[in-house]
Structure 1
């Protein structure tokens, strides 16, 4: 079965081979509960719920007696023999979801041209190979994971507990050495060994060529993990390392490593999209469209804009003098300041909302509050739009403030993915030009 994100409600009569029992086990369920009960359901980002666009719901889709309604999630989800594919609503057709492919390529810095979306293919878990570099970089941004580990020594510098049994086996007749064990904080531990085994596995994978060498930063990270694990790495101990990592890692500082651990385990255990053995379990790989859209825009705007991250606290700002953290999606690096939001919702028309409307708060008021906080007269909202670009400027009444709505065109007439990429690059350049022109000086910078 196939549909698109934010489908507005699709009649269940239009689905072939509908299995209400399997779909009902997924529909209308809290997403976090589903993930806790079904470890083979992967949703990116792991901080789902951060992106408060109007259309976002805390479940994958809704189902009633008449309609199946989707929201921001795209990808694959299934139970038993039932599988639902949720494509981007900007897809040319169900087998050519160029827009989703393109955003994934930009965000994860990978080549998706070989990614096969043909129905009934079971290669979706191979796609995890290409997600690994992204999460490896995020984890390494917190440093190499350190954990306490038992180490065995046999020398004259005793600094731990004497291992009598091992000492008698190794040091008779006595030559001055003593066998002892210590508990040390080490970079060479079960988790870094898991990462090392995953690196070695990808190197031998038929589609893994170049995945770990896409840029100098990634090559440097890979070499560091190889260096710290060289002492005890053994390719024959892979299953032992996997078993040692079945318990999820929890650490107050190394928070990004939990997602990386999960991906490594999936890769090394060669799991497929359909399982068969685990009856009634939900499985799948899903991406939050609002998150993907925001991260995609960051790849386009990062030269001129800072992209705060509310999960990591990076580039955090306060609304008041000493409390209330805020995270605008984008803040310009140069003066006069420009602040703005990424919106994965259609904004290509003027629409007035009631004063207490949550839509008005989500779409307009938050961005205007950010403008006031940063003494900025320039705000923007960027959203995806089919076929043609969109650009309008609204003046905030009786002020110098302006709010721009910019719709980035997603071409629907491209004959192939290569042509789609060329057109998108042109549209991105147009978007950047519209964003930076007609800037109104901030009050403190006005002459």
Structure 2
């Protein structure tokens, strides 16, 4: 296997990628949306209204004689070539920071073993399996998926369309029954059967029951809703779902769940990544993971509007104009603070980032804004005071009432195992949120 590991938000010479040239040729300068259409699983799914993750974002972007990586982490493959994108806070060993984000946001088991080069496909498969509870819970917030199913009957209680050919075949001589078919709105449909097959497949894994216990109520609902489940129908159910994907926008969470279930069940049949021309893999949006992780730390201090679910939407102007989703709005309305989570190095925060937060501050009458970013050096906060005046009048001076602060959370690098990483992260988290509690 030809393997290359790189880090997010980094730049490498193109020569470094020469031994995985076939894979790089298929992903370089392609957007996340294009890669998703080609079979790569993107988490969270491509969101058309998200600000932090753009459908135009590239995994590897050509910059002269180098490739620059973005905010995503994960595994990509093509034939015998693999590319692993680690977090930039990964040391020489395992990527504890990436694992920590997955653990805090998605309740992932500890599976990130980046040293196991020979087991990359299994690790990719585990990523898919461990995402299942999250997608199942998210989809079923909309309730059980229901659709029209054509059922065929042969009895005396005719309610639908008579099937003449089948009636002649089954009811000659006539004994009182009539063959007919009827469309009925049912929970026991091909999509729910696909979810059921995935549940039964995961149950047979050594860690399956521990994984599904997190969504035991949802699992019970699926099992109760699929009395027609038969283990030997798996391939038929897979084919039905491949041909009939969820189309209604209201059920887009079920579309994501359907796609994940197909990947899990088809991977078992060695259909993912088959052939030397197909690219496959799973990519996690570091910006989304970072924002949700920060929310877990400051949710008692800040409101957290979420553009993916439409929760907490704000408007810049009256007449419902100017939809915005600030990352964080302080609950203290007397001394309002706006904060923006940025999964990028401190030197990359600027230009459009400044304009965005200042617009939010102006909208909510906030005098203080913060950029919340991860950093490894442990440097102090950088506080920037807004200017007043103009260069034309040569009277530019800093104000003393409006400021933006770049506030970093220190990520431990000098650790020897995951337990020590967690212990040091707890200390960093306490220091990080202390500024908002004083």
| Interval containing the TM-score (normalised by the shorter chain) | 0.7 to 0.9
Residue 277 to residue 157, structure 1, CA distance change in 2 (3 Å): closer
What does residue 89 of structure 2 align with? 90
User: 3-state SS of the aligned residue for 1:328?
Assistant: coil
Distance 1:170 1:328 in 2: 67
CA distance change for structure 1 residues 278 and 361 in 2, over 3 Å: closer, same or farther? Answer: same
- The CA deviation at 1:197 is 0.9
Question: 2:44: which partner in 1?
Answer: 45
Q: Secondary structure at the match of 1:339?
A: strand
- Structure-to-structure mapping, 1:33-182, within 5 angstroms: 33-36=34-37, 38-39=38-39, 41-47=40-46, 58-63=57-62, 66-93=65-92, 95-113=93-111, 117-121=115-119, 122-123=121-122, 124-153=124-153, 158-164=158-164, 169=170, 174=175, 178-182=178-182
| Aligned equivalent of 2:240, options 230, 241, 244 | 244
Query: Which of 2, 7, 18 is 1:4 aligned to?
Result: 7
- CA distance, structure 1, for counterparts of residue 285 and residue 331 of structure 2: 27
The alignment status of 1:361 with 2:334, answered yes or no, reads no
Give the CA deviation at 1:237.
0.9
| Residue in 2 that maps onto 1:207 | 207
**2:422 is paired with a residue of what secondary structure?**
helix
CA distance in 1, matches of 2:185, 2:284: 36
**Which 5+ residue runs of structure 1 have no aligned equivalent?**
352-358, 438-447
CA distance in 2, matches of 1:20, 1:260: 32
Q: How many residues align?
A: 418
- Residues 181-260 of structure 1 mapped to structure 2, 5 A cutoff: 181-214=181-214, 218-230=215-227, 232-247=228-243, 248-260=245-257
Q: Which has the higher helix share?
A: 2
Tell me by how many angstroms 1:382 deviates. Answer: 0.4
The structural deviation recorded for 1:288 is 1.9
Task: Measure how far apart 1:207 and its partner are.
Answer: 3.2
Asked whether 1:386 is paired with 2:376, we answer: yes
Contact kept, 8 Å, 2:23 with 2:78, in 1: the verdict is: yes
Partners of 1:53 and 1:344 within 8 A in 2: no
Equivalence map 1:315-330=2 (5 Å):
315-321=312-318, 322-330=320-328
Partner deviation per Cα, 1:400-435 (whole Å, 9 max, x = no partner)? 444332201110011101111121122222222212
Shift of 1:368: 2.1
Does structure 1 conserve the Cα–Cα contact (< 8 Å) formed by 2:94 and 2:114?
A: no
Measure, in 1, the Cα distance between the counterparts of 2:287 and 2:112.
Answer: 25
Does structure 1 conserve the Cα–Cα contact (< 8 Å) formed by 2:33 and 2:55? no
Change (3 A) 1:373 1:268: same
Within 2, Cα distance between the matches of 1:114 and 1:75?
10
Tell me, yes or no, if the aligned pair for 2:95 and 2:112 is still in contact at 8 Å: no
For residues 91-117 of structure 1, the C-alpha deviation after alignment (integer angstroms, 9 at most, x for no partner) is 112x41111111111121122257565
Contact between 1:125 and 1:273, CA under 8 Å: does it hold in 2? no
The alpha-carbon distance between structure 1 residues 430 and 57, as it changes in their structure 2 partners (threshold 3 A), is: farther
Give the equivalent residue in structure 1 for 2:410: 409
How far apart are 1:393 and its partner, in Å?
4.4
**Distance (whole Å) between structure 2 residues aligned to residue 376 and residue 312 of structure 1:** 25
Taking the aligned partners of 1:160 and 1:24, their CA distance within structure 2 comes to: 55
Contact kept? 1:125, 1:267, Cα under 8 Å: yes
Q: Which moved more, 1:63-72 or 1:119-128?
A: 63-72
Aligned residue among 271, 276, 280 for 2:277: 280
Distance 1:53 1:99, change over 3 A: same
